[in-house]
């Protein structure tokens, strides 16, 4: 896939769930997936890892950005909100500081939904906070490809300018909250307070125009191509049932079954 695993996998996952958006007046059920690399202020890997000297600060800011999205959703009429801690250990958001109107899903189930565990057709909208661009993207903060994101209607993504642009390329005019602008491996940052204000106001604005968004859907069959950095990993992955070797460092899978693709992805990314 020319746009890489990030775009392909988001498209595959979107194809697995579609539900019509409900009017704001009926009350909204909102799913918020929160990663850490795209949080305002984050620029180095040790800031996102347990044991890093500044990790306590940035997990607090991660929690505050989640709260900003919760507050924006509540202002737009949300009556049920689930926050999924989607970074690293899955235990980064500080439960005692999270807004009590939301429920929090922590840690990993090791199922195929991963960063979107807990999603189903009953949700009206999905918000991504603190997300990052795919591997190989120039001028992007802590870009990498290991994202499992299943959602109904994407309305807002926050992070740097690169993930905002990639989201628009795939999903159209979703709201993008740019909290930092990358220059090579550096970035110009907003203040955390300003970033949280933007997340709050744009979340409300996006939910109030929910009827403008439509689920992005692909028709089966689905094809997933995985390109490895090491040829040996492609050799190992080629033994997975259904795998087709497409180059020295890549394999592909094709199926009409969305959940089968998710399972194959988990196998393929764990061959090392």
Q: Which residue has the tokens 């399972």?
A: 263
Q: State how far the Cα of 123 lies from the Cα of 253, in Å rounded to an integer.
A: 29
Which of 43, 125, 52, 147 shows the shortest CA–CA distance to 92? 52
Catalytic residue list: 144
* Helix, coil or strand: residue 262: helix
Question: Which homologous superfamily does the CATH classification assign to the domain defined by 4-212?
Answer: Dipeptide transport protein (3.40.50.10780)
Q: Which two tokens stand for residue 12?
A: 């595959």
Q: Output the tens digit of pLDDT for each of the chain's 272 residues.
A: 333 433 333 433 444 444 334 444 468 999 999 999 999 999 999 999 999 999 999 999 999 999 999 999 999 999 999 999 999 999 999 999 999 999 999 999 988 888 899 999 899 999 999 999 877 889 999 887 753 322 235 778 999 999 999 888 888 878 899 999 999 999 999 999 999 999 999 999 999 999 888 877 778 898 888 888 889 999 999 999 999 999 999 999 999 998 898 889 888 888 87
- What are the residue boundaries of the structural domains of the chain, listed by start? 4-212, 222-269
> Rounded to 5 degrees, what angle do the CA atoms 96, 100, 104 make?
75
How many C-beta atoms surround the C-beta of residue 217 within 10 A? 11
Give the span between the Cα atoms of 248 and 70, in whole angstroms: 45
């Amino acid at each position: 896939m020319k746009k890489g695993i990030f775009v392909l996998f988001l498209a595959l996952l979107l194809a697995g769930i579609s539900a019509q958006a409900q009017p704001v007046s009926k009350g909204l059920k909102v799913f918020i997936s929160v990663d850490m690399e795209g949080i305002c202020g984050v620029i180095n890997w040790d800031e996102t890892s347990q044991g890093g000297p500044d990790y306590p600060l940035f997990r607090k800011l991660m929690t505050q950005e989640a709260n900003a999205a919760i507050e924006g959703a509540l202002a737009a009429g949300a009556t049920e909100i689930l926050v999924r801690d989607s970074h690293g250990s899955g235990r980064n958001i500080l439960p005692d500081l999270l807004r009590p109107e939301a429920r929090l899903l922590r840690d990993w189930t090791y199922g195929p939904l991963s960063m979107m565990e807990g999603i189903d057709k009953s949700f009206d909208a999905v918000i991504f906070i603190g997300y990052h661009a795919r591997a190989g993207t120039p001028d992007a903060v802590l870009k990498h490809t290991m994202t499992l994101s299943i959602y109904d209607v994407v309305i807002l993504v926050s992070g740097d300018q690169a993930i905002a642009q990639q989201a628009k390329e795939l999903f159209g005019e979703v709201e993008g909250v740019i909290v930092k602008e990358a220059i090579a491996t550096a970035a110009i940052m907003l203040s955390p307070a300003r970033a949280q204000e933007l997340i709050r106001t744009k979340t409300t604005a996006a939910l109030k125009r929910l009827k403008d968004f439509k689920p992005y859907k692909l028709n089966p069959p689905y094809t997933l191509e995985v390109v490895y950095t090491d040829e040996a990993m492609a050799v190992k992955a080629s033994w997975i049932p259904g795998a087709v070797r497409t180059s020295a460092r890549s394999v592909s899978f094709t199926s009409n079954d969305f959940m089968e693709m998710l399972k194959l992805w988990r196998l393929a990314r764990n061959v090392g």
